[in-house]
């Protein structure tokens, strides 16, 4: 009798499953599980926030960056003959690609007197998954925010050494890295949040340079996730020969708008103006520059 009751219940269950489309239909009705986000929110206190912007801090126009600070004679020739009004200089960082024998406070003072504007760059730790052999020092995911703060302190010392005052931005250079590992991107975001927190506390603006397809993509995801504080200005590399700051891909119009972008649109170009030749990267700027 118990066996007959069990058989009857089994038959009834089969009829019910068939009526609703079977086990597969039940699973489909439940829908796919939501995928975990690649980047989660990273939030740190930011009591002071970024320095107040002044109209004269802003620059819109062409800029170049070169591996080493150029001779003053070259800057003088280029100021008169080239389309450029600003240049990127590597003010600090243990992993800079070139020596900086000319980069002093006096060099900055004389270049500024010619009318040049500046984008200071710090080259320190790289993404944990970076494949660059020439920059072997990496962010430690377990200490990323703390390392960001430490690198910011080094960057501030570099700015002060050459005469750039509070309110100036400094861009941390995070070279392109593969997006295979979300933990790698999270470490970059955590580092950038710590970097920004420390720069704001010291009275400086936070800048961040990376490829549009790696570091910038992860920062854009961090912004959508609610991370804070994030860098004030983004310098994105996409070598598309377009001298604009419209972004694209992950850098949508709602992110880092209103004069907070620099676009490196071509790299390793040899240019000659006034008889002086440099190998440079070309940039279009719509952002505050160094004070």
For residue range 169-203, what is the model confidence (pLDDT) as tens digits? 999 999 999 999 999 999 999 999 999 999 999 99
Looking at residue 202, its pLDDT comes to 98
171 close to 119: Cβ distance less than 8 angstroms = yes
- pLDDT of amino acid 36: 72
- Say yes or no to pLDDT of 23 above 70: no
Residue 21, pLDDT score: 41
The tens digit of pLDDT for each residue in 112-134 reads 999 999 999 999 999 999 999 99
Contact indicator for 118, 86 with CB cutoff of 8 Å: yes
- Residue-wise burial string across 152-186, b where 16 or more C-beta atoms lie within 10 A, e elsewhere: beebbebbbebbbeebbbbbbbbbbbeeeeeebbb
pLDDT at 142 over 60: yes
Q: What pLDDT does residue 2 have?
A: 35
The helix/strand/coil state of 148 is helix
Separation in Å, CA 221 to CA 108, 125, 181, 250 = 36, 21, 14, 8
Residue 54 tokens read as 């002044």
For residue 291, cis peptide bond before it (omega within 30 degrees of 0): no
pLDDT digits (tens, 9 = 90+) for 43-91: 999 999 999 989 999 999 999 999 999 999 999 999 999 999 999 999 9
Per-residue pLDDT tens over the stretch 202-261:
999 999 999 999 999 999 999 999 999 999 999 999 999 999 999 999 999 999 999 999
Q: Indicate if the pLDDT at residue 31 is higher than 60.
A: no
Residue 60 is predicted with a pLDDT of 98
Q: Minimal CA–CA distance to 187: which of 224, 148, 213?
A: 148
| Closest residue by Cα to residue 234 from 258, 218, 210, 252 | 210
Q: What is the mean pLDDT of residues 131-141?
A: 98
Answer yes or no: are the C-beta atoms of 234 and 257 closer than 8 Å: no
Side-chain half-sphere of 211: how many Cα atoms within 13 Å? 13
Nearest residue to 96 (alpha-carbon basis) of 172, 205, 170, 152 = 172
Q: What number of H helices and E strands is found in the chain?
A: 7, 8
DSSP state of 250: T
Q: Write phi, then psi, for 2 (nearest 5 degrees).
A: -60, -40
* Residue 145 · residue 187 · CB < 8 Å: no
Residue 35 pLDDT = 64
The string of DSSP letters for 178-201 reads -SS-HHHHHHHHHHHHHHHHHHHH
Whether the pLDDT of residue 29 is over 90: the answer is no
Cα distance between residue 289 and residue 291, in whole Å: 7
């Amino acid at each position: 009798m118990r066996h007959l009751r069990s058989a009857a219940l089994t038959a009834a269950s089969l009829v019910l499953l068939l009526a609703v489309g079977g086990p597969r239909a039940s699973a489909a009705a439940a829908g796919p599980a939501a995928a975990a986000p690649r980047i989660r929110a990273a939030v740190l206190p930011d009591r002071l926030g970024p320095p107040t912007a002044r109209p004269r801090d802003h620059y819109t126009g062409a800029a170049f960056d070169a591996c080493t600070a150029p001779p003053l004679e070259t800057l003088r020739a280029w100021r008169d003959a080239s389309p450029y009004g600003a240049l990127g200089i590597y003010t600090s960082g243990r992993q800079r690609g070139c020596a900086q024998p000319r980069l002093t406070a006096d060099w900055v003072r004389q270049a500024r007197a010619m009318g040049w504007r500046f984008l200071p760059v710090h080259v320190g730790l790289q993404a944990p998954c970076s494949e660059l052999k020439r920059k072997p020092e990496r962010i430690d995911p377990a200490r990323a925010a703390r390392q960001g703060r430490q690198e910011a302190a080094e960057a501030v010392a570099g700015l002060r050494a050459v005469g750039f005052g509070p309110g100036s931005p400094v861009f941390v250079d995070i070279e392109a890295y593969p997006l295979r590992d979300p933990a790698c991107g999270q470490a970059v975001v955590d580092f950038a949040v710590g970097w920004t927190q420390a720069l704001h506390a010291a009275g400086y603006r936070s800048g961040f340079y990376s490829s549009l397809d790696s570091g910038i993509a992860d920062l854009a995801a961090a912004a959508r996730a609610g991370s804070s504080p994030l860098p004030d200005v983004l310098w994105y590399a996409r070598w598309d020969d377009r001298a604009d700051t419209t972004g694209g891909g992950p850098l949508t119009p709602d992110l880092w708008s209103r004069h907070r972008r620099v676009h490196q649109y071509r790299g390793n170009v040899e240019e000659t103006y006034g008889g002086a030749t440099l190998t440079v990267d070309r940039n279009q700027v719509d952002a505050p520059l160094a004070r």
